[in-house]
Structure 1
Amino acid sequence: MTALARLPLFPVLPPLRLPRLALLALALLCPLAGWCNVGAIERMKGTVQVLGTGGWRTASQGETLAEGERINTAEDSEALIRFTDGALMALRAKTQVQVTRYQYRQDKPKRHASLLQLVTGSFRFVTGLMGKAAPEAVRVTTPTATIGIRGTDFETAYVEERTADTEAGTYTRVIEGGTFMEGADGRRVEVDAGQTGFATSADLVARGLSSAVQVGLIRDPQGIFRDGSFDSTLKNLKQEGVNRLQQELRKQVPQELKGTLPGLLNDIFKR
């Protein structure tokens, strides 16, 4: 595996500041039909299972998800999840993700909270309104790292077994925007667009599955990140979310604000 770059540590990323008009528009969004759940399976391929209070169940397209549930994709299977704030998560094959917490409160932004736990496998994540208005509220955890965002499109993978080409640990690659990666020892590194971060743990090193306890940037590893069946639709789905929000806002905001909505929401989603 490519040696990790020696990098200076970075401070916690400051929260994104949206214009007052943007915050007003977001505050005016009331609960919409179909947006009362944590999220739903927008598209799927193969076998997808969900672990809820009643045990494991086989999922179907359009099925809603609740906070605390775990989603599992089988071999040669994938799922695309749309969360209540418009965020999109494309689960690759043989992936398991726990939605530990997902609270999008349109009327109370300070209560926004998103905590997704990648147990195994990999996914691509495109942030929604929560990630734009309150990026500090969005976190992804793996067995060896915590990843924070700042309005972004990124991929994360957790590799459990060492191979000839890869070390065991967490890999994250940024497509747009930026993330930061923090290891179990508290060390942190910023990952910008086009960069890949890596974090392992003392436990994996002790078990001979990784060779170094460190967090840093690496060259893009071969075979870790691969396009999924739904990647080509992510851009269109993201724009659909913008269009839907624009339509709902036009119904609810004062007349004098309606002319500003198209540019306003597009600006929010670009962040």
Structure 2
Amino acid sequence: MTEIMKIFPLFFKSRIITILLGLIAMVNLPVFADENYVGMVKTYQPPAAVIHNSVEAAINIGTKLYLGDIVVTKADAAVGIIFMDGSVLSLGPETHFEIVDFLFKPAERNVSFISKVSQGTVAFTSGAIGRISPESVKFITPTSTLGLHGTKVLIEVK
């Protein structure tokens, strides 16, 4: 093998470099693809799903959530989510929750957390957005829009 490497050193060096660059690209691709996520599933009890770009997928611990995603829990299911600003959200059984708007640029004081709860129960503890700008946290329900005026809220929509 060493004789062949002596005869074709550039070939072997370029192959190794190509393989290494390919591995680096594969490792870094998910990082770039996921830089726009707004929250992550920390706990769940199936059956629960996320609808992302009109495609439904089962939820797992570590599932990343994006603007526009809809999280749906079935009977006896629950999902715990932590958002990029440190907000914590718990969804109970038979809940339909949508991330309408989430913007977290605290240095610019440009923040927003707007969600829609069509049915079910939601327990929410605010993070940095609620501390920086409480009026920027809103929950839209079929009959009203709730604004955050504290650190915790419990919502039930029937």
Once the two structures are superposed, residues 169-196 of structure 1 have per-residue CA deviations (whole angstroms, 9 ceiling, x without a partner) of xxxxxxxxxxxxxxxxxxxxxxxxxxxx
Q: 1:94 maps to which residue?
A: 94
Cα distance in 2 for residues equivalent to 1:44 and 1:155: 18
Q: CA RMSD in A?
A: 1.5
* 1:150 Cα deviation from its structure 2 partner: 2.3
Cα distance in 2 for residues equivalent to 1:65 and 1:45: 17
Equivalent pair of 2:41/2:82 in contact (CA under 8 Å): yes
AA of the residue aligned to 1:56: E
Q: 2:78 maps to which residue?
A: 78
Equivalent pair of 2:44/2:59 in contact (CA under 8 Å): no
AA of the residue aligned to 1:85: D
Structure 2 counterpart SS, 1:99: strand
* 1:106 Cα deviation from its structure 2 partner: 2.6
Q: 1:66 maps to which residue?
A: 66
More strand by share: 2
Equivalent pair of 1:132/1:150 in contact (CA under 8 Å): no
Cα distance in 2 for residues equivalent to 1:139 and 1:132: 13
Q: 1:246 maps to which residue?
A: none
Which stretches of structure 1, 4 residues or more, deviate above 6 A after TM superposition? none
Q: Percent identity?
A: 22
For structure 2, the 5+ residue unaligned runs are 1-33
Q: 1:195 maps to which residue?
A: none
AA of the residue aligned to 1:90: S
Structure 2 counterpart SS, 1:86: coil
1:54–1:117 distance in 2 versus 1, CA, 3 Å: closer
Q: 1:143 maps to which residue?
A: 142
Once the two structures are superposed, residues 98-154 of structure 1 have per-residue CA deviations (whole angstroms, 9 ceiling, x without a partner) of 101111113221x21111100111110000000011101110010001111123111
Q: 1:37 maps to which residue?
A: 37
Aligned residues: 125
Structure 1 counterpart SS, 2:75: coil
1:122 aligns with 2:121: yes
Equivalent pair of 2:44/2:78 in contact (CA under 8 Å): yes
Structure 1 counterpart SS, 2:68: coil
Equivalent pair of 1:119/1:143 in contact (CA under 8 Å): yes
Cα distance in 1 for residues equivalent to 2:91 and 2:108: 29
Equivalent pair of 2:124/2:152 in contact (CA under 8 Å): yes
Cα distance in 1 for residues equivalent to 2:100 and 2:147: 15
